[in-house]
Chain A
Amino acid sequence: MVLKNNLKVVILGLTVILTIISIYLALIYTPSHETMGDIQRIFYFHVSSAWVSYLAFGVTFVAGLIYLKSRDLKWDTIAFSSAEIGIIFCTLGIITGSLWAKPVWDVFWRWEDIKLFITLVLWLVFIAYLALRANAKSRTSKANLSAVFGIIGFICIPLSFGANRIWQQYHPTILASQEGSLQASMAFALIVAVFAFTFLYIYLLLVKVDVERMKETIDEIKQQAGG
């Protein structure tokens, strides 16, 4: 327990330090983009939120698989906590992306862009995941059903990549393409931002899992006292 608390403090410290550095790098240190100007600065946080949401949903999928294998409710708690954090970051990613898109693309949303589409589908799937958990009848059925649903939901994501046949790629592929590649300072700022968000995710996950455990303990005590 002490070790775990120490770990949490270390991760919290890293998160705070990296976030402050990353804000400095993104807003002050990096030069303005040649074509987009200062609007481009939102990109550091947009990419990081999107990355964390994909990571979180991936963790939900893996934890769901491990739960079905081991039947240890600990993994179910991790899966649920990660899904909830993933939705927050997914929402942040969609909002920051829309804010960026309005001045650059002149619209908030492009239905034909594959990345936007997939992110929206993911968001909807995991909203449904939370709705499922809210309506489960018992603790184990909640864990079983949501694990199965999380797995099916995750399988559907690559499938909807293929389903959207008319998709076009408007999304800037900054890291992959040659001509749009980042200046060294921008790449550095992005990497720091991604690390800051990842540590924030890990910290939130640890806290959320603890909160969920406490909730379960309270429920147990309530049942003992009441019955």
Chain B
Amino acid sequence: MVEFRNKQMINIYLILSLMIIASFRFAFSIIDFSLNRLASPILWISFFFAGMFSLSLTYKREIEQGTGEGLLLAPISLSSIYLGKLLANLLVISCLELFTLLIFFVFFPVDIPDLLTLLTLVFFGTIGIVALGNIISAISSNLAQSEVMLPVLLVPLLLFTVVMSVVSATSKVFAGAHLLDVINEIRFILAFDVVFIAAGYLLINYILED
């Protein structure tokens, strides 16, 4: 929630997603391609990288500002810290994604898909990204070169699980599918979310305690 108090930070995130979308638009302006088919991967890669910057600070800020110890001393379980961070990140990254989506529709002249389905997918996909990203961020904040280590650790785990399935579902939406057409994919993504939250909830103790 520090993000909202610190206007500087949230502005930088917004500018960053603008830059990412603009660079994709630039990359695809010089070749001939079908916008509707590439929309989904472009969108999710933007979400993924914009979200990662927000995730990278989640635990690192606590360590740098010395507030981490206070947090550990508080009479709450470590798992609740994880859940709290999860909700905070979810809020920040969701706002970020809505903004990115807006810019995306401005920059890329795609057919407007079923927005309810798109937003549902974005929401559930984001839960997965944040649930796993949170615990990896806790790991990387304890490492040297933590800024580089977060993407190194996160990409192989996240890109081939949640992001992959959500991208294939989103491309169906851009091809004209509605909520009921992708209900199987949504169930699947929900299963990922549950597994990741459970893993984070159980394993966070081992990361934070020392």
Inter-chain contacts of A132 with B (CB < 8 A): 139, 143, 149, 152-153
Kindly state whether residue B122 has any CB partner on chain A within 8 Å.
Answer: no
B44 to chain A, nearest CB (A): 13
Let me know if A149 and B149 touch, CB within 8 A.
Answer: no
Q: Annotate A176-192 by CB proximity to B: 1 below 8 A, 0 otherwise.
A: 00000000000000000
Question: In the complex, A126→B168 CA distance in Å?
Answer: 26
Decide yes or no: A149 and B139 within 8 Å by CB, A125-B157, A132-B153, A144-B207 being known contacts: yes
Let me know if A144 and B206 touch, CB within 8 A.
Answer: yes
Choose one: A68, A125, A127, A155; the contact of B206 (CB below 8 Å). Answer: A68
Kindly state whether residue B164 has any CB partner on chain A within 8 Å.
Answer: yes
Kindly state whether residue A168 has any CB partner on chain B within 8 Å.
Answer: no
Question: In the complex, A131→B152 CA distance in Å?
Answer: 8
Kindly state whether residue A124 has any CB partner on chain B within 8 Å.
Answer: yes
Kindly state whether residue B8 has any CB partner on chain A within 8 Å.
Answer: no
Inter-chain contacts of A149 with B (CB < 8 A): 136, 139, 153
Q: What total of chain B residues lie within 8 Å of the partner, measured CB to CB?
A: 29
Q: What total of chain A residues lie within 8 Å of the partner, measured CB to CB?
A: 31
Let me know if A121 and B142 touch, CB within 8 A.
Answer: no
Kindly state whether residue A217 has any CB partner on chain B within 8 Å.
Answer: no
Decide yes or no: A152 and B168 within 8 Å by CB, A135-B149, A137-B144 being known contacts: no
Decide yes or no: A159 and B192 within 8 Å by CB, A141-B142, A165-B168 being known contacts: yes
Inter-chain contacts of B156 with A (CB < 8 A): 121, 124-125, 127-128, 153, 156
A122 to chain B, nearest CB (A): 9
Question: In the complex, A162→B156 CA distance in Å?
Answer: 15
Q: Which residue of A lies closest to B145 (CB)?
A: A135
Inter-chain contacts of A140 with B (CB < 8 A): 210
Kindly list the 6 A-B residue pairs having the minimum CB-CB distance in the complex, ordered from nearest: A124-B156, A160-B160, A163-B165, A135-B143, A163-B164, A159-B161
Seen from chain A, the residues whose Cβ lies within 8 Å of a Cβ on chain B are 68, 117, 121, 124-125, 127-128, 131-132, 135-137, 140-141, 144-145, 147-149, 151-153, 155-156, 159-160, 162-166
Seen from chain B, the residues whose Cβ lies within 8 Å of a Cβ on chain A are 132, 135-136, 139, 142-145, 149, 152-153, 155-157, 160-162, 164-165, 168, 185, 188, 192, 195, 199, 203, 206-207, 210
